[in-house]
Structure 1
């Protein structure tokens, strides 16, 4: 098995476990109180603030949107509740189960469609989507696989379509090195060499570039216009 296949399998196992038996009660509460949720999320949480720049919530109404790496499906549900026709994709079948439960318990204008598995193998029709989005998704890919995903994204977009991604950007080597030495969540400090090594072995993120310059260059290979919007402060 190649290192790319191993990384993909590690990702799949990680997210199958993470989203297995995932409760949808919080998601249903949020989409039933959509304005209040988005007002809070887009002002207090960096990824929501980043993804929903430039009136995104209004732009997607009635539009066909593909979400890569839908994960726990919160964003897919929010977009669908806003009136978008959402196709949600993830390698974890557990995400599909979340979509099924959401469709059973909420009346979306367009029920969410789930596409399971490797995005590259699904071969959805060309020029199908008004938007392709990823909320902290691309950085889970190795750079060669990311390039394939971006090429596929360009193929799937309508001529006037838009790809929109929120991704972490490491633009300061000093700050990034400091970050690794501060324990957060389930990640131990790099000072703790044994525990850090164990954590790194199960971490689904590959070692790769995360700089804003990389994201801009990667996008310019496939898209006519690329805009990088920095968000956050001393985080990444």
Structure 2
């Protein structure tokens, strides 16, 4: 692994250990008690859930072995386990393992969640073991050399009929990307505020790399026969212009439905994010 990748990995480890230190599982337990309602609401209004759980993913999980890369706050790992999946949750941050321990102690899952500690590439997991490999906003944390190795390992771990599903940001329009950086959001200053933006960028755990749909298509074809990229959030991205509340929620519900009618070429160019599906691993 090159020095840039090693430095990036350590930056991510420190960042997410700090972020998830003493993380409360209270909300996760509340959501598990009414899992169907939680997923219905999340998939109708939140981009990452709407993307990842498309194509009946929720109903395909029971008794399946699932590896989640970058489990983070472990909400998705808990939901998949709550749906009856045998979940292996990996993260470089030790704090995620502590969350998994709390969840297993507080909730009786059909299969207790197994935490896979540290570097995903060094765990020597059994080949052809998993029905699904999942990443919810994960690949974009990797440098391009790292991403290539992670996808090679993903193909090795999947069963022949297995499937990899990743929700990732999409940058297919340079104009929209430049506008995005100029608009301040919580935790990130505007690029127009040059000094603060540079300070933020120095601490940002995300490497500078391509997030284009074409990139994810090309890198996927090296390891999988089947590659599908679906744009998500082309219209939903404008919800930030609407104050939080019922009108914002109503807009997001409408946007996810309406953007399905946008021609694919335009939708891909303007989209905010994407669902990436890889199948038929090349062994």
Same fold (TM over 0.5): yes
Matches for 1:80-95 after TM superposition, within 5 Å: 80-95=81-96
Q: Quote the offset at 1:218 in angstroms.
A: 1.1
Matches for 1:16-165 after TM superposition, within 5 Å: 16-165=17-166
Q: Quote the offset at 1:224 in angstroms.
A: 1.4
4+ runs deviating over 6 angstroms: none
Partner of 2:209: 208
TM-score normalised by the chain length of structure 1: 0.99
Q: Quote the offset at 1:7 in angstroms.
A: 0.9
Q: Secondary structure at the match of 1:146?
A: helix
In 2: Cα distance, 1:172 partner to 1:199 partner = 23
Matches for 1:171-186 after TM superposition, within 5 Å: 171-186=172-187
Structure 2 spans left out of the alignment, 5+ residues: 238-271, 273-283
In 1: Cα distance, 2:184 partner to 2:231 partner = 25
Q: Secondary structure at the match of 1:161?
A: strand
Q: Secondary structure at the match of 1:120?
A: helix
Q: Quote the offset at 1:60 in angstroms.
A: 1.1
Partner of 1:231: 232
Q: Quote the offset at 1:33 in angstroms.
A: 0.9
More strand by share: 2
In 2: Cα distance, 1:211 partner to 1:3 partner = 21
Structure 1 spans left out of the alignment, 5+ residues: none
**What number of residue pairs does the alignment pair up?**
236
Q: Quote the offset at 1:21 in angstroms.
A: 0.3
Q: Deviations over 1:143-175 (max 9, x none)?
A: 110000000000000011000101001010000
In 2: Cα distance, 1:210 partner to 1:62 partner = 33
Q: Deviations over 1:100-143 (max 9, x none)?
A: 00000000000000011010011101001000000000000001
What is the CA RMSD across the aligned residues, in angstroms? 0.9
Q: Deviations over 1:154-206 (max 9, x none)?
A: 00000110001010010100000000000001100000010000000000000
Q: Secondary structure at the match of 1:167?
A: strand
